[in-house]
Structure 1
Amino acid sequence: MSTIARITFDSRVMGGKPCIRGMRVTAGTIVGLVASGHSKEKILNLYPYLESEDIDEALAYAAWRVEEIDIPLIQESA
């Protein structure tokens, strides 16, 4: 995965959820807006402090997270 520099994690901001550049806007919020049909221009109007690249990286981050695989730990029975 290429570097995702605009997605930040801070336990003091939005409970540690992935946010855009340390702001109180989560990557999930941006992905949700895109999924519900909002255009990039509309999102930038709603959040004027965001940049076009923020939206691109939120989508790239979400796509990367979807590809992760959780492998359960198996404990041996005694």
Structure 2
Amino acid sequence: MNWQQYISLNPEVMTGKPVIKGTRITVELLLERLGNGWTMEQLMESFPHLSPDSIRACLLYAADSVRNEIIHNIAA
């Protein structure tokens, strides 16, 4: 699966935060809820525009985001 199929970044929508295409539902919100123990079923019930694939796309987006991080070791 390719997260770009489900997630868009547009400066005109939610100030450019990544959202589920066609919605104002941010990836950040969904990741936060998943991290707090929400199930996919609970997310889809609360946000009827979501599909299992759109939720998984958020996880793939997050993985891509941290994969490209540059880590600097700063001595204390």
Structure showing greater relative contact order (alpha-carbon pairs closer than 8 Å, 6 or more residues apart): 2
| Cα gap change, 1:49 to 1:68, in 2 (>3 Å) | same
Aligned counterpart, 1:30:
30
| CA distance in 1: counterparts of 2:20 and 2:30, whole angstroms | 9
Unaligned runs of 5+ in 2: none
Q: 1:33-72 to 2 correspondence within 5 Å? A: 33-70=33-70
Q: What amino acid is aligned across from residue 16 of structure 1 in structure 2?
A: G
Aligned residues: 71
Identity of aligned residues (%): 30
TM-score, L = length of structure 1: 0.81
CA positional deviation for 1:33: 0.7
CA RMSD, 1 decimal: 1.7
Distance 1:22 1:15 in 2: 15
Alpha-carbon contact 1:20-1:27 (below 8 Å) kept: yes
Displacement after TM superposition at 1:3 (Å):
3.0
Taking structure 2 as the reference length, what is the TM-score of the superposition?
Answer: 0.83
Distance 1:71 1:46 in 2: 36
5+ long unaligned stretches in structure 1 = 73-78
Q: Is the 8 A contact 1:10 1:22 kept in 2?
A: no
Does the alignment pair 1:13 with 2:13? Answer: yes
